[in-house]
Amino acid sequence: MKNLESDILIIGGGPSALVAATTAKTNNPDKTITIIKEFDIGLVPCGIPYIFGKTLGDSEKDAMACGGIKTNGIDIVIDKVEDVDIESKKVFSKEYTISFDKLIFATGSIPFVHDDLKEALKLQNVFTIEKDKAYIDSIKEYIEDKKKIIVVGSGFIGVEMADELVCNGKEVTIISGSKYILQNSFDKELAKKAEEILLGHGVTLKQGEYAKTIIQKDGIATGIELNDGSIINGEVLILATGYQPNTALAKKAGLKLARYGGVWVDEYMRTKNKDIFAIGDCSGRRDFITREPSKVMLASTSASEARVAGTSLYKIKYMKGFNGTIAIFSTMVGDRAFASAGITESEAKRQNIEYVSATFEGMNRHPATIPDATKQSVKLIAMRHSGRIIGGQVIGDKEAGEMINIIGLAIESELTIYSIISLQVATQPLLTSAPTTYPIVKAAEMIAKEVS
């Protein structure tokens, strides 16, 4: 057992750990900072589906760069943490005892699998999507000569996996209990457009029925029985049924957990113990709008939390803490970008929010004769009375990935549609819609008309 000391110690190797380390170093140049993580090479989490298709095609290409960390004077220890003693401020790994002054849990998340399906994980052809290079390589190797693949789950990972696999020549069926794909982020009419693309690529969609049992023979899964009794056969089963906070270590250390199992934290990402922080997927999250506990897990949310923690370790430097997750993300289905921020219309209904929504469909270039011009749709959701923007969804070409960040900034800044109506936006023939029909502004106008 070797003894180490570090003023600031971070457990984890994902994006939030890296961002917390560099932010902490920037704000506390005189403090020693150590990251302890289990594997030397990490994967870019949201790049994993692209390892399975032609986009990356190889896990080596999805490696997360840590070069910046090391040159920044941050130590990295590769080892598995087994215990944390909050009283004595020590972390115990297989080979080290590390004393700390400030500790940040950034232990991430692990796949969530429903109890009924858990047993099947033992089978050699049933996989989850873990953020572990060796494991991902083993899936890729296994499916190499297989044809029929079942993906259970229609969230981002499920959809991205299915699309990459089908475009790589596999026969893919998505099974999902939801009525439409990506339902946490998109309303039905937009999700249907993503479904059309998947169907066009040859994906089979089996929706509205849950995977009940995994059928096996001689240690190999042969298919899935749904709750309506139908059976889908496949050679490989990928369970993309969500993730859960990886908080066994924090729980064992005695930290309080929040409703969905994340470590309870305040707006500055502090646990009940002011020297111990938790960030990223392992932290307990709230929704920015509904104020309900949130299951959203996103590297972008994690990076934001990491920056708040990194600037608040010794002193709270900025008033603005992390005030709940905006649930802002984007993906591509085929050559269309789908992006979402805040809450959907169906979530607003569930939460009993009095809202108005409007969708504007235009073109992403102007005039529409510009060679790469294509359709662009923006849906906005706002509180009926105050006009405050609480959600947005964008479908378009790749620029949609940044347009959602305009809507996200509006939500996070508590802006109303009335601020957006007269917003000055840069427009250019080759880059954007026309100034007369900028879709975020037009959707805001449509809402204003509806409530006036």
Report 95-154 residues binding a copy of itself (CB under 8 A).
none
Q: List phi, psi (to 5°) of 393.
A: -140, 140
Position of tokens 């929504």? 357
Of 360-379, binders to a copy of itself (CB under 8 A) are 366-367, 369-371
Q: How far is the CB of 300 from a copy of itself (least distance, A)?
A: 4
Among 26, 124, 227, 230, which residue interacts with a copy of itself (rule: CB under 8 A)?
26
Q: How far is the CB of 67 from a copy of itself (least distance, A)?
A: 12
Q: How far is the CB of 149 from a copy of itself (least distance, A)?
A: 21
Strands 109-111 and 243-245: antiparallel
Per CB under 8 A, 158 contacts a copy of itself:
no
Q: How far is the CB of 340 from a copy of itself (least distance, A)?
A: 8
Nearer to a copy of itself, 253 or 360 (CB): 360
Nearer to a copy of itself, 98 or 417 (CB): 417
Per CB under 8 A, 320 contacts a copy of itself:
yes
Nearer to a copy of itself, 203 or 296 (CB): 296
CB of 50 within 8 A of CB of 133? Answer: no
Per CB under 8 A, 67 contacts a copy of itself:
no
The amino acid occupying position 65 is: A
Q: How far apart are CA 433 and CA 24, in angstroms?
A: 41
Q: How far is the CB of 223 from a copy of itself (least distance, A)?
A: 31
Q: Where are the alpha helices (DSSP H) in 328-399?
A: 345-350
Nearer to a copy of itself, 124 or 436 (CB): 436
Among 300, 346, 351, 374, which residue interacts with a copy of itself (rule: CB under 8 A)?
300
% helix / strand / coil in the chain, to the nearest 5?
Answer: 30, 30, 40
CB of 231 within 8 A of CB of 223? Answer: yes
Among 329, 377, 380, 447, which residue interacts with a copy of itself (rule: CB under 8 A)?
329
Per CB under 8 A, 332 contacts a copy of itself:
yes
Question: Could you tell me which residues come within 8 angstroms of residue 264 by beta carbon, excluding any fewer than 6 positions away?
Answer: 255, 256, 257, 258, 271, 272, 284
Among 8, 44, 190, 343, which residue interacts with a copy of itself (rule: CB under 8 A)?
44
DSSP symbol at 106: -
Per CB under 8 A, 393 contacts a copy of itself:
no
Q: How far is the CB of 73 from a copy of itself (least distance, A)?
A: 15
Q: Which residues of 179-216 are buried (b: 16+ CB within 10 A; e: fewer)?
A: ebbbbbbbbeebbeebbebbeeeebebbeebbbbebbb
